[in-house]
Amino acid sequence: MIQCILKFIAGKIPHHIAVLMDGNRRYARKNNITDVEAQVLGYYNLPKLVHWCKRLGIHELTVYAFSIENFKRSEKEIGDFFKAVKEELEKIENNLENSMLRNTRIKFIGNLALLPKDLREVLTKLIFKTKNGSFLLTVAIAYTSKDELTTAVTTIVKNVQNNSIRPKDINEDIISANLFTNFCNNPDIVIRTSGEVRISNFLLWQSGNSIIYFVKTLWPNFSAWHLVLHVYILIVMVPKRE
């Protein structure tokens, strides 16, 4: 019903939305809970967001879960974070068919070698188990766009050295094909929660033509109706691009 209403009012629904899930730690301080407790609340929001993207007729969602720059935080905080991530992903894996992530293809992008081995194993299981899903959820973890671009350039240089490609053939398509996101479309809309007005090294190449939208809501408070409202604002109020 919501999808039909938005289509009637605004026309085209975006194909791909990307979200910087920011504000967990501020939510923790505001509500007198630990950072990990706030992060867990944030995890609960992700399946809900996927569910509502599906209801709206959106086909792809990419979220920023953990930046390489976050490794500068304390060892305890990082350890607690990865432990909580592993536990929540294991719950998802064991209950996929009965969850809001049912029929969702889950992919992870980033420098995954930086993650703990037991967490990487869980990610691998989820990727394999969800490979036939029709909705695409991409999670950026141990990721920065600069690292992604550096990796892409390094790969292209190696391909030139082994004569797989010629230097004169290098173009935007070659670069895009060597990014972590080579399996998905570029986002139509990038939303950042928490009120921070910066993109924080997220999908810099891919979001060149995206609408960038900053909302004040902290991520654990971000609800289905926030998504509906902001998608409506963006596709109705923002001038249409040719």
- pLDDT at residue 44, rounded to an integer: 84
> What confidence tier does 167 reach under pLDDT thresholds 50, 70, 90?
very high
Could you tell me the pLDDT band of residue 81, with boundaries at 50, 70 and 90? confident
Q: Mean per-residue pLDDT for 22-46?
A: 89
Structural domain includes residue 187: yes
Q: Is residue 26 part of a domain?
A: yes
User: pLDDT-derived band of residue 62, with 50, 70 and 90 as boundaries?
Assistant: very high
Q: Tell me which of 44 and 111 has the higher pLDDT.
A: 111
In a domain, 148, yes or no: yes
Pairwise CA distance, residues 75 & 67, whole Å: 15
Evaluate whether residue 189 is within a structural domain: yes
Residue 105: DSSP 8-state: E
Averaged pLDDT for residues 57-80: 93
φ, ψ of residue 124 in degrees (nearest 5) = -60, -45
Rounded to two decimals, the pTM is: 0.91
Q: Identify the weakest region by mean pLDDT among 45-54, 102-111, 200-209.
A: 45-54
Cβ atoms of 170 and 156 closer than 8 Å? yes
Tell whether 9 is covered by a domain. yes
Residue 242's pLDDT is: 44
Nearest by Cα to 40 from 79, 96, 2, 88: 88
List the domain range (segments joined by +) for residue 146. Answer: 2-237
Report which secondary-structure segment, H or E, holds 135. Answer: strand 135-143
CATH of the domain at 212: 3.40.1180.10
Residue 32 confidence (pLDDT) above 60: yes
- Alpha-carbon distances, residue 172 vs 70, 156, 176, 183, 204 (angstroms): 29, 12, 6, 15, 14
Number of domains into which the chain is organized: 1
The values of phi and psi at residue 61, to 5°, are: -135, 130
According to the model, what pLDDT value does residue 3 have?
54
- Print burial letters for 120-130: b (CB count within 10 Å at least 16), e (below 16): bebbeebeeeb
Asked, for residue 242, whether it belongs to a domain, the answer is: no
- Whole-number Å distance between alpha carbons of 130 and 107: 9
CA angle 42, 44, 48 (to 5 degrees): 110
Q: What is the pLDDT of residues 121-136, one digit of tens each?
A: 999 999 999 999 999 9
CA nearest neighbour of 187 among 198, 197, 199: 199
The answer to whether residue 1 scores a pLDDT higher than 70 is no
Confidence of residue 235 (pLDDT cuts 50, 70, 90): low
Q: What is the C-alpha separation between 79 and 76, in angstroms, rounded?
A: 5
Which is nearest to 114 in space by CA: 152, 155, 68? 68
